[in-house]
Amino acid sequence: MNKFGLSASIYCGILLCGIIGAAASPIMAKQQYDAGQEVNSDAAQEAESQIFAVDKNRPTIGFVGVGQIRIGMAQEAMLKMGFADPYAHEKWQSDEEYAACHHISNEIDYPYLNFMIVDGKLARIENHQGGWPVYKGGEIGMTIAQMKAIYGDELEQSLHPYGGDDMSQDAYLTLTSMGKTYRAIFEIYEGKVTGYRFGASEAVGYIEGCA
């Protein structure tokens, strides 16, 4: 059971399986393939997806949000700004599950980004395709050495939950705000950043979407 009182099997159908846009990481897709399991098509596409160059004209993603979009913002306010969830009324997702945690997006104003809503409020922002400037300049495609050159002692390196035992290849690089209210995790796969998520500390720590 997770913090919402819902079983992992429920969340697999919604989140781990990538149905609502919070696709699993490339590491998870590779593990499914290696184990002879059916690979999540969203995750497989993500593993091979195009990485876009950073557009410095866009607002910077940081601990508390991006541009006018702030962590803690009500979903209702975001929906008025062009955000949408095309799966909000799908039969496989109960009202309870949807209310607990889901993702919305705005492909016009905030392309490539997934926005996690927990209990009606924005909890984290996630990106696996680049295109956006990030706090202090980290980017998808950077090596661990490049990241450490930017963030120095701010970074905490740990094993990736779905990776091997070699932290030089599969790892989490974590940043924590001064008050520990917010966090950021950069996912390392095969030695390079493949994605990142910023936001409320607890939500950033969720490994499989909302689970």
User: How does DSSP assign 158-203, residue by residue?
Assistant: EE-TTS-S-TTTSEEEEEE-TTSSEEEEEEEETTEEEEEEEEEHHH
Q: Is residue 174 over pLDDT 80?
A: yes
* CA 18/CA 204 separation, integer angstroms: 17
Most confident of 17-21, 90-94, 118-122: 118-122
Q: List beta partners, residue 193.
A: 188
Looking at residues 179-197, what average pLDDT do you find?
Answer: 97
The model carries a pTM of: 0.78
pLDDT tens digits, residue range 109-152?
999 999 999 999 999 999 999 999 999 999 999 999 999 999 99
Looking at residues 11-23, what average pLDDT do you find?
Answer: 36
Q: Which residue has the tokens 């979903």?
A: 75
* CA 165/CA 209 separation, integer angstroms: 23
Kindly report the average pLDDT of the chain as a whole number.
Answer: 81
Q: Is residue 37 over pLDDT 70?
A: no
The first and second tokens of residue 171, run together, are 């790892």
